[in-house]
Amino acid sequence: IYSFTIDTSVTVSTWFQTTQSQFDTDTLSGAVSLATNTITVATSASNGLAAYAEGTIQTPRYRLWSGTSWGSELSALSVGATINWVVLRPGETRDEYILGTLGTDGDINMQVYKNGAWGNAQEITSTAADAGARGFDIAYENASGDAIAVACDGDADPVYWTWNGTGWTNSGTINLASANNCAWIKLIADPASDEMIVISRDTAGSQYEAQVWNATSSTWGNSITLGSMLEVSHEGMAGAYEESSN
């Protein structure tokens, strides 16, 4: 058993700890448990971020939530077209967000928010089959903290890119059973491992298909073909893991 004593009369100039950057205040607001089974001392309340499209503006808008109030409207990086779809995912092991957008021009773009600014913009395809369908999704691996973005890119097999915290990599395609163009994508991350499930649906609604991401071998597999969809203009699919993964 270990213990320590806090001398509140002393102002600490800097906090040091092993999982994130150093702190420059001595205000303890709480402790945050990370996916890597570590505890991080928090000097401020957890923040939130809401991102959205606005009219015909080609720049995603966003606002920050401080824990008590919303900030003013701000702009992310321009994506070069009116925005139809927006996806936002928070990092598992890093203080960052990934924002994905699908524009009316069929471009699917990614950008990363960290250290108070947007950067690392990456167009992962310019040929989405249907700008009216959300043919992309993003998820973070729980343990590694790496992220995967999957996107329909104008043919039957979606492309996927990986983000490792510093850069994007085009990692290949997911081979699907359908010969029709890919239209809708849903990506679900296991909360207790680096496993993911991707669910896709083609433009004709002829079938759904699910595959599983094996992070150890960096491969997709365990394919299963599911039912069909008559309302082709709707997504009609969902997926989830149990939180305990038991």
pLDDT, tens digit (0-9, with 9 covering 90-100), for 221-239: 999 999 888 888 889 999 9
Instruction: Give the HSE-up count for residue 127: Cα atoms under 13 Å, Cβ half-sphere.
Output: 9
Output the CA–CA distances (angstroms, integers) from residue 219 to 142, 172, 189, 213, 234, in the order listed.
17, 10, 15, 6, 29
Q: Which residue has the higher pLDDT, 143 or 12?
A: 143
**Residue % of the chain over a pLDDT of 90:** 74
> Could you tell me the pLDDT band of residue 20, with boundaries at 50, 70 and 90?
very low
Sheet holding 48-52, edge to edge: 48-52, 61-65, 74-75
pLDDT value at 67 more than 70: yes
Query: What pLDDT shows up at residue 15?
Result: 46
Q: pTM for this one?
A: 0.81
Q: Quick check: 21 pLDDT over 80?
A: no
Tokens for 36, please give them: 């890597």
